[in-house]
Amino acid sequence: MTDKLSLKTPRGRTVAFPTGLFIDGKFSKSSDGTTLTSINPATGKPLGDVSAGTRADVDRAVEAARTAFDTVWGPNSTPDVRCRALNKWADLIEAHADELGELESLDNGKPVWMARDVDIMDSAGCLRYYAGLADKVEGKTIEQTEGQKLAFTRSEAIGVVGQIIPWNYPIQMFAWKVAPALAAGNTIVLKPAEQTPLSALRLAELSVEAGFPPGVINIVNGLGPIVGQAIAEHEGIDKVAFTGSTVTGKKVAVAAATSNLKRTTLELGGKSPAVVFEDADLEQAAHWVTNGILFNMGQDCAASSRLLVQKSIHDDFVARLVRNFEAHQIGDPFDDKTTQGPQVSEMQYKKILGLIQSGKEQGATVATGGDTVQFAAGHEYNGGYFVRPTIFTGCRKGMRIYDEEIFGPVLCVMAFDDEDDAVQRANDTTYGLGAGIFSENASRCMRMVHKLKAGTVWCNMYLALSNAVPFGGFRQSGYGRELGIEGLAAYVQTKAVHWNYGEKAVWPVTG
């Protein structure tokens, strides 16, 4: 057993959970006793310490996962068993939604209502969606044109999968990863982000109550260069799924390839364009674009961080956005009126401020924001990582704010002439995760859908997702898909079977 961390939230709730690594159904300290400190980004103060894993701990987790796969899960479990466990886990997550929402807010900084009503409810839905697919992992029969032979395929679980999740949606990305993997019959070694290590430990506790056997789910908190790299390189892991930056994703891909050539799914960075034409419903478009860049403090890989707006409506549309940005309620994550909390960490906070400064120095114009949020003297949030929502106009290719993923509440605006110009500017990036189109002309929307290089294209909306719809990127935004039927397919492999029921072999073969 390990120590428990007990946290009292601003709403008076006490949340307690073990702080160890969750391996083989039990919590234990790391092999060398090292820890990570979780920081409350609203105050800049520590919440507590959790165990930080080592390569030896990853080895233990992989061994437990392999044993579970070979004995109680994978080929030795049934879809019905997997379905019941996933549904029970979803029930427990919903039953503890208030507790989990407050824990997530303390650890990540997002408003409690956002964590509870969006992330946690969607995560329970994701588990239920894949619970419903557990008995739909199917093969097919293939007709043979010659001889007395039957051919068919089987879809089988891959085995032990390593999963590395980011800090922007800790519970939701947890669900996106584990739900399809478990439904297909795989066992898991998962590393949460070092900035947000807490909620995964509480979810691990609930997984025991849901009935998952020991070793099926293993959680190893730790640093990326240690635990993440060990997972990517491990010869006993059959697949790795990673969500995070493009730079780190490339390292994961190399490690996976040069070790045992394990399969990879990579959901990486983005610099997604929202394209607003003069025939759009401008008020609705302004609301969608605002939500697309400011939701979750701008910490979203598909955020609408590049706004391309037709020249004839540029000034009008920017004015609408400025109004929305300045009405954004920034502050206490435990106040249900708050729409923006702090950035997740001091490092991310300083990165965003550095990029804002670069935008000013490179000649972009600040339409609103461009600085930090200050509270009254002595306020507990004065040590937090709050950035004012910012709009830059006059942006151009070559500016860091326009080219680089900021991952914060910063919108870069560029004007365009016509449809062809919009397509060229939208696609002029190394990324390809998302894109938005705003126009009342259905034909124009369809033309743009065909021309934009992005894994998801939204028409007259932005950042709306569904557990039933696949999500992933083009180009340097990664490969593979999560969610939907495609998300399940990423965790199975196809075995072909040829069955002779009467054809005679002849040897030697003659002409």
Q: What is the CATH number of the domain that holds 36?
A: 3.40.605.10
For residues 321 and 384, membership in a common domain is answered with: yes
Residue 312's CB: how many other CB atoms inside 10 A? 12
For 464, counting Cβ atoms within 10 Å of its Cβ (0-12 exposed, 13-18 middle, 19+ buried), the class is exposed
Tokens of 14: 């006490």
Residue 69 lies in a domain: yes
At 509 the pLDDT is 82
pLDDT (tens digit, 9 = 90+) per residue, 167-176?
999 999 999 9
**pLDDT for 115:** 98
Same-domain status, 29 and 59: yes
The pTM of the whole model exceeds 0.85: yes
pLDDT at 166: 98
Q: CA 342, CA 105: separation in Å to the nearest integer?
A: 10
**Same-domain pairing of 291 and 424:** yes
* Amino acid, res. 263: R
pLDDT of 278-330, one tens digit each?
999 999 999 999 999 999 999 999 999 999 999 999 999 999 999 999 999 99
Look at residue 505 and tell me if it is in a domain.
Answer: no
Same domain as 305, residue 202: no
In a domain, 503, yes or no: no
All residue ranges of the chain with pLDDT < 70 are 1-2, 145, 511
Shared domain check, 386 and 253: no
Residue 182 resides in a domain: yes
Q: Say whether 46 sits in a helix, a strand or coil.
A: strand
- Exactly one of 99, 104, 194, 267 is catalytic; name it: 267
Do 55 and 128 share a domain, yes or no? yes
Give dist(CA 337, CA 111) in Å, integer: 9
pLDDT of the residue at 130: 98
Looking at residue 1, what is its pLDDT? 54
Specify the amino acid at residue 59: D
Q: Do both 374 and 480 map to the same domain?
A: no
Q: Are residues 289 and 159 in the same domain?
A: no
User: For 223-279, how does the pLDDT look when each residue is reduced to its tens digit (9 = 90+)?
Assistant: 999 999 999 999 999 999 999 999 999 999 999 999 999 999 999 999 999 999 999
Q: Is 198 in the same domain as 110?
A: yes
Check residue 463 and give its pLDDT. Answer: 96
Whether residue 203 lies inside any domain: the answer is: yes
Total structural domains within the chain: 2
Residues 486 and 344 in one domain: no
pLDDT given at position 147 = 81
Asked whether residue 92 is domain-assigned, the answer is yes
Q: Is residue 378 part of a domain?
A: yes
Quick one: 173 and 65 in the same domain?
yes
Question: Domain limits at 356?
Answer: 273-459
- Cβ atoms of 240 and 254 within 8 Å: the answer is no
Residue 466 lies in a domain: no
Q: Name 510's Cβ contacts closer than 8 Å, sequence gap at least 6.
A: none
Return the structure tokens found at 145: 């044109």
Q: What pLDDT, on the 0 to 100 scale, is given for residue 419?
A: 98
pLDDT for residue 352: 98
Check whether residue 100 and residue 13 sit in a common domain. Answer: yes
User: Is 267 among the residues known to form the active site?
Assistant: yes
State the CATH number of the domain containing residue 321: 3.40.309.10
